Structure 1
């Protein structure tokens, strides 16, 4: 196998998400590696069908929420109890715990704020997406109505073409991956 062949991939295009799911199961059943699938919208169960590991983003969201809650607790204690205690409506200002019900909206909002904003940043960093980055999309039709399955070629081009044609691919192209 030459260096040129190692950089070749097959792009199989599908026009229906259910046909794509069946195709993924058949391709994985034949023990072929699927490099990537480009979709115009999220396809439920596709990650499981491809055999991808579960995401750990939920764990990071929880940690970011806990960080936001901690900041909110510190902020309410520091501003209302330690730094500038005030007698508002006859409430005691020497104890955070007795005033905590008044701080619940602040704690909730900062928990959500930290989780949401830090999750967006984490998602973009994990996905290697940043401002002005060029799209890695190999075919613009995958942003509209087609699904593209990318499979590396390792001397089995004809076998893969036959398999993909049998799975219902509407178009099969062999391209050099850059």
Structure 2
């Protein structure tokens, strides 16, 4: 059974940030915030853990660099070495300056593409997935804050949320 939530609609992003801080300050739980654009500092105000996407991006870049080095070593040194412009290709390290652009490009390619895939998987954004925003106005110019009622007094919580500057407050079962 889903918990009861209160959905509060706000008109200003600064007001949302202050409201989330006030709601968390009173030991209520903000389960979700729907916003048409990112709000700086909202993750800290909600108490979310820092993201580890930068670590995965670094690992994906290392994977791309490794693939580039192994690919160029096999193709240009082992499989089909060529004497191009009087410069023989007998060693990978002798020819490394000519390989640097390819190593850079594959590092960026792997990091960028795998990060997009990781972001979509982590965010659970699948192709043809229906939108989960509770109010269509949250994709344009309004902000929605969902607060779990849990074991709190509903009337007192609704009054408190209205006092934070919400333009609309709805109780959802």
Same fold by TM (over 0.5)?
yes
Kindly indicate whether the alpha-carbon contact (under 8 Å) linking 1:92 and 1:98 is maintained by their aligned counterparts in 2: no
Aligned to 1:169: 166
Normalising by structure 2, we get a TM-score of 0.96
* Runs of 4+ residues over 2 Å off in structure 1: none
Aligned to 1:107: 103
Q: Unaligned regions of 5+ residues in structure 1, if any?
A: none
Task: Describe how 1:2-151 pairs up with structure 2 within 5 A.
Answer: 7-151=3-147
* Whole-angstrom distance in 2 between the partners of 1:107 and 1:32: 50
Q: Unaligned regions of 5+ residues in structure 2, if any?
A: none
Normalising by structure 1, we get a TM-score of 0.94
* Whole-angstrom distance in 1 between the partners of 2:122 and 2:97: 37
Report the 3-state secondary structure (helix = DSSP H, G, I; strand = E; otherwise coil) of the residue aligned with 1:40: coil
Shift of 1:156: 2.0
Kindly indicate whether the alpha-carbon contact (under 8 Å) linking 1:14 and 1:168 is maintained by their aligned counterparts in 2: yes
Over the residues paired in the alignment, what is the CA RMSD in angstroms?
1.0
